């Protein structure tokens, strides 16, 4: 365990702040000084000189807009120079001036997640948000030590099938005691994390969102409501300092953190250029399980998962496949570690009654029964397991035994 001293904490926060504005800095320092401990043992002036000599990498703006990239690089360079001049103590003081519920954890401290130490370039500092009091975020981060985590990732433009699978898998994993990790992006990420929040009533944390910007920055704005829900019951984490805006290069960087936190990664739809594909690559590199939801042959969004399945990834047709892969026993097995509670009760009865009248989609069932979509999907999943329903083309469900 690294030495948790005030000086080490200040160095970690300072270097984490510098790395927020200079991609690849931590990896370069590790290559130069062999280990993170070796980096932290060097005088700040030496580290500052090394960082100042290392040029910023050229990069394109979001969507390939070079004029945006130039403006971003100018801003990033100015912020980098400001943090470099400020030094460790000043950066630590600034980072700690936060409202209740915000958290700063250094690589050198016991609260830092051990699984991130598997990365060749681990974040030296984590900035987190969760809850409304100083102890909440710490308790939620601490809970991750003994709780299995699984990342659910995929395209930003999923098909109805992809949405349904992401929702079902994430909801069932949460009910089985697994914490769902994702990136709060549009599409599969948001669907999975919303399902986890819906299913994780009473659980803390319900889900972990790893951002490609500061943990206090809501991006994309369309997920503002979900961000708020996650901060109430889950945890938002970032390696980037407070207030750092979203930039194109920061998203692939954050994907390695999602992969390292989790025992396994589930990929739901995407092309070979999908950000989820990057997460899977990081996961494979550090020995995490990779599972893919098989897609329809010839479809563009099936390209990456079907290709990964041909290369040896595990098939994921539901949460049970994930639990088996990561070594968590499902409900009903002897010695089960986490037992998924019955979805039953009123929700299942209402869904069952609705399906007696006609075949319906998940959204139609949710509307007709007055249920959240995630709960309607969970109820249908139970009925399907029991052999009472079957999915038809178009995402409609048919009651088999009336």
Instruction: Find the mean pLDDT for residues 336-342.
Output: 37
Please give the full DSSP string across 187-204, using - where no structure is assigned: THHHHHHHHHHHH-TT-S
Contact assessment for residue 77 and residue 84, using Cβ atoms and an 8 Å cutoff? no
Same domain, 276 and 358: no
Residue 110 belongs to some domain of the structure = no
Per-residue tokens: 299: 């479809």
Q: Could you read off the pLDDT of 179-220 as tens digits, one per residue?
A: 999 999 999 999 999 999 999 877 679 899 999 999 999 999
| Residue 62 confidence (pLDDT) above 70 | no
Per-residue tokens: 50: 């090394």
Same domain, 275 and 354: no
Please give the full DSSP string across 307-343, using - where no structure is assigned: HHHHTTPEE-SSHHHHHHHHT-PPTTSTT-SS-PPP-
Domain that includes residue 283, residue range: 137-326
Residue 335 belongs to some domain of the structure = no
Same domain, 28 and 173: no
Per-residue tokens: 317: 């047709």
Same domain, 355 and 292: no
pLDDT at 345: 58
Same domain, 374 and 311: no
Alpha-carbon Rg for the chain, nearest whole angstrom, is 22
Q: Could you read off the pLDDT of 129-182 as tens digits, one per residue?
A: 998 887 889 999 998 888 999 999 999 999 999 999 999 999 999 999 999 999
pLDDT at 70: 78
Percent of the chain with pLDDT over 90: 65
| CATH number of the domain enclosing 209 | 3.40.50.450
Residue 123 belongs to some domain of the structure = no
Q: How many domains does the chain contain in total?
A: 3
Q: How confident is the model at residue 336 (pLDDT cuts 50, 70, 90)?
A: very low
Which of 33, 64, 94 delimits the end of a domain? 94
pLDDT at 71: 80
Same domain, 321 and 350: no
Residue 74 belongs to some domain of the structure = yes
Reference 195, options 220, 178, 210; nearest CA is 178
Return the H-helix or E-strand segment holding 281. Answer: helix 275-285
| Residue 398 confidence (pLDDT) above 70 | yes
Q: Could you read off the pLDDT of 210-259 as tens digits, one per residue?
A: 999 999 999 999 999 999 999 999 999 999 999 999 999 999 999 999 99
Q: What is the mean pLDDT of the chain?
A: 88
Same domain, 282 and 362: no
Same domain, 320 and 362: no
Which of 326, 354, 384 delimits the end of a domain? 326
> At what angle are helices 6-21 and 44-53 packed, to 10 degrees?
10
More confident residue, 381 or 132: 132
Per-residue tokens: 90: 């000043």
Q: How confident is the model at residue 57 (pLDDT cuts 50, 70, 90)?
A: low
pLDDT at 264: 96
Q: How confident is the model at residue 367 (pLDDT cuts 50, 70, 90)?
A: confident
DSSP-derived 3-state class of residue 390: strand
Reference 363, options 229, 163, 201; nearest CA is 163
Residue 337 belongs to some domain of the structure = no
| CATH number of the domain enclosing 389 | 1.10.10.10
Same domain, 276 and 145: yes
Query: Cis omega (within 30 of 0) on the bond before 205?
Result: yes
Same domain, 248 and 295: yes
pLDDT at 385: 65
Per-residue tokens: 58: 């050229």
Q: How many angstroms separate the CA atoms of 229 and 333, rounded?
A: 33
Range scoring the smallest mean pLDDT among 15-29, 53-67, 290-304:
53-67
């Amino acid at each position: 365990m690294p030495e948790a001293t005030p000086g080490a904490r200040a160095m970690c926060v300072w270097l984490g702040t510098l790395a927020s504005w200079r991609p690849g800095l931590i990896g370069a320092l590790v290559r130069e000084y062999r280990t993170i401990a070796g980096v932290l043992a060097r005088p700040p002036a030496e580290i500052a000189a090394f960082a100042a000599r290392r040029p910023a990498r050229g990069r394109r703006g979001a969507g390939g807009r070079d004029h945006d990239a130039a403006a971003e690089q100018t801003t990033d360079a100015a912020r980098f120079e400001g943090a470099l001049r400020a030094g460790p103590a000043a950066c630590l003081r600034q980072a700690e001036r936060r409202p209740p519920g915000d958290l700063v954890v250094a690589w050198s401290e016991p609260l830092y997640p051990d699984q991130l130490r598997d990365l060749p370039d681990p974040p030296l500092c984590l900035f987190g948000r969760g809850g409304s009091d100083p102890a909440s975020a710490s308790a939620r981060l601490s809970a991750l030590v003994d709780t299995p985590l699984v990342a659910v990732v995929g395209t930003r433009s999923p098909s109805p099938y992809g949405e349904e699978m992401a929702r079902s898998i994430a909801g069932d994993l949460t009910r089985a005691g697994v914490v769902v990790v994702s990136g709060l992006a549009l599409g599969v990420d948001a669907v999975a994390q919303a399902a986890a929040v819906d299913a994780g009533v009473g659980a803390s944390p319900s889900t972990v969102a790893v951002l490609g910007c500061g943990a206090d920055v809501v991006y994309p704005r369309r997920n503002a409501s979900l961000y708020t829900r996650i901060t109430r019951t889950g945890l938002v984490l970032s390696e980037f300092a407070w207030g750092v805006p979203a930039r194109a290069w920061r998203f692939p960087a954050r994907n390695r953190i999602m992969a390292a936190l989790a025992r396994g990664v589930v990929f739901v739809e995407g092309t070979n250029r999908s950000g989820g594909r990057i997460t899977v690559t990081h996961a494979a590199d550090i020995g995490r399980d990779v599972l893919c939801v098989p897609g329809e042959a010839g479809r563009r969004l099936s390209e990456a998962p079907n290709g990964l399945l041909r290369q040896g990834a595990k098939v994921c047709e539901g949460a049970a496949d994930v639990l088996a892969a990561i070594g968590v026993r499902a409900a009903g097995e002897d010695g089960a570690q986490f037992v998924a509670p019955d979805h039953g009760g009123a929700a299942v009865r209402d869904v069952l009654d609705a399906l007696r009248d006609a075949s319906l989609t998940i959204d139609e069932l949710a509307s007709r029964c007055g249920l959240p979509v995630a709960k309607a999907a969970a109820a249908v999943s139970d009925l399907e397991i029991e052999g009472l329903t079957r999915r038809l083309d178009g995402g409609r469900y048919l009651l088999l035994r009336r």
